[in-house]
Amino acid sequence: MSRKLAGLIRMGKNAFTKMDYPRAERHLKEALEGGAEYPDIHYTLGLIDHQRGNYRQAVERFEKAVSLHPEYTEALLSMSITLNDMGLYEDARSAYDRASMVLTRQGVAPERNMVRGRIANLHKELGELYLALGQHDEAIFEYRKALSVAPSYPDLRVRLVAALREAGRADQAMSEVETFLSESPGNAAALVQKGILLYLAGNRAKARGAWEEALDRDPFNKVVQVYLNTLNREQSAD
């Protein structure tokens, strides 16, 4: 590679790091035109397209990167996330599965892989979409997949509890939240979910206890304050 091409690539990547996307795109495209057909250049241009909302172009860039480097997991994962943003969920899952196969072949443990957070977030995003559509089983499946990749992410546990509750699986939801609290005592978000489950079960006294503990842990949590105010109004009406 010539010094000129190396300089263009270096300037392009530096500009991308500084979020100067127009300059990054200009330098990297010039490098491509000069013959620097490298997968990471296509990948970076794909990220720029994604940032701009040019999802179809981004997917084409990621596909080109993968065609040049079939085990480019970052490109596969970014492709999956972009396809998900486009509403192409089956294609997104296919790209994700390809990335998972590469990681498996490489013998990389998900918990030690640098992209585990992105994988977990992809499952979480899919779970949120399924939940919004009222497809509770699919949402629960995605949240469990996210937790299998990143079991230490507390927000995933909370979302799983909420999904189980919305699916009418109160017993499973309570089991999950109790397990969560045994591992992370005093977690405010988990205590909020526990209070909701207790309230729905008709146990207002224990619900109050859970919410008061949550408020003690997170004094500025307005949601908990609303729940406690509701209990106070109900108690006054009795």
Residue 81: inside a domain, yes or no? no
CB half-sphere exposure, 217, CA atoms < 13 A? 16
Give the residue, 98 or 125, on which the prediction is more confident.
Answer: 98
- Residue 79: inside a domain: no
Tens digit of each residue's pLDDT (9 = 90 or more) over 146-173: 888 788 788 889 999 999 999 999 999 9
**Number of domains, the chain:** 2
Q: Give this prediction's pTM.
A: 0.56
Alpha carbons 47 and 50: distance in angstroms, whole number: 5
Q: Is the pLDDT of residue 230 over 60?
A: yes
Residue 106's pLDDT band (cuts 50, 70, 90):
low
Residue 97 lies in a domain: no
Check residues 18 and 44 and name the one with the higher pLDDT.
Answer: 44
Alpha helices, DSSP H, located in 18-153: 21-33, 39-52, 55-68, 73-85, 89-106, 116-132, 136-149
User: What average pLDDT score do residues 18-28 get?
Assistant: 88
The residues, any chain, with a CB within 8 Å of residue 229's CB and separated by 6 or more, are none
- Residue 159 belongs to a domain: yes
Whole-angstrom CA distances from 68 to 33, 38, 41, 42, 145 are 16, 7, 11, 10, 29
In a domain, 151, yes or no: yes
pLDDT over 90 (residue 231):
no
Q: Tell me, yes or no, whether 47 lies in a domain.
A: no
For the chain, state the CA radius of gyration: 23
- Whether residue 200 lies inside any domain: the answer is yes
Is the pLDDT score of 114 beyond 70?
no
- Find the mean pLDDT for residues 40-61: 91
Domain that holds residue 215: 186-238
Is residue 206 situated within a structural domain? yes
CB contact at 8 A, 48 and 82: no
